[in-house]
Amino acid sequence: MAINRKLGRPTDQRLAILKNQTTDLILHSKIETTESRAKEVKSIVDSIIALAIKEKDNFEEVEVKVIKAKLDSKGNKETEKVTSKNGKEYLRVVKEKTTEKRQKDMPSRLNARKKIMTKINKVKDKDGKNIDIPAKLFNEIAEKYKDRVGGYTQIIKMGSRRGDNAEKVILKLI
């Protein structure tokens, strides 16, 4: 007997649909879909959120040495004229050494991050920058549901779809 619903699709298409809908639900907190897909996505999202809640505080602060380009008041890189061994002059960027505090994931949190990334897609915002969905899960969503033991999502029935009479629902994070 199958563990998951087949959803009338080949395996690769079914997994792609579930990944897309899981990602959309985490990003937008609400999606509209069919009832059978919503039930599958609900189980995936609930397990991801439970994992994020379990590992949300499992990191340590580490000081890291960072070498950056020195910036002027306008935000441009500062340069200096340097002469090479053969007598040619060129511009070299001035660098400064600093230390920064960063979060270092402990091994179990790193494993949780990898598990989450297998169940969601990578997403970019309007500017083309990557959105760190695991960070959103650990920082925002896990904080929101930290006192809750389960049931992070809710399915609200909307009625039948006009074309094929499929039951439409809204799946949202509570």
Provide the pLDDT for residue 2: 58
Q: Is the dihedral of CA 163, 165, 166, 169 positive or negative?
A: positive
Per-residue pLDDT tens over the stretch 64-100: 999 999 999 998 999 999 999 999 999 999 999 999 9
> Which are the contacts of 117, defined by CB distance < 8 A and separation ≥ 6?
134
Question: CA 45 to CA 59: how far, in whole Å?
Answer: 23
| Amino acid letter, residue 22 | T
Give SS3 for 124.
strand
Sequential DSSP letters for 135-157: HHIIIIIHHHTTT--S--EEEEE
Average pLDDT value for residue range 154-163: 95
Sequential DSSP letters for 20-44: HHHHHHHHHSEEEEEHHHHHHHHHH
Question: CA 15 to CA 119: how far, in whole Å?
Answer: 9
Provide the pLDDT for residue 34: 96
Percent of the chain scoring above 70 in pLDDT:
99
Average pLDDT value for residue range 33-61: 96
> What mean pLDDT is reported for the chain?
94
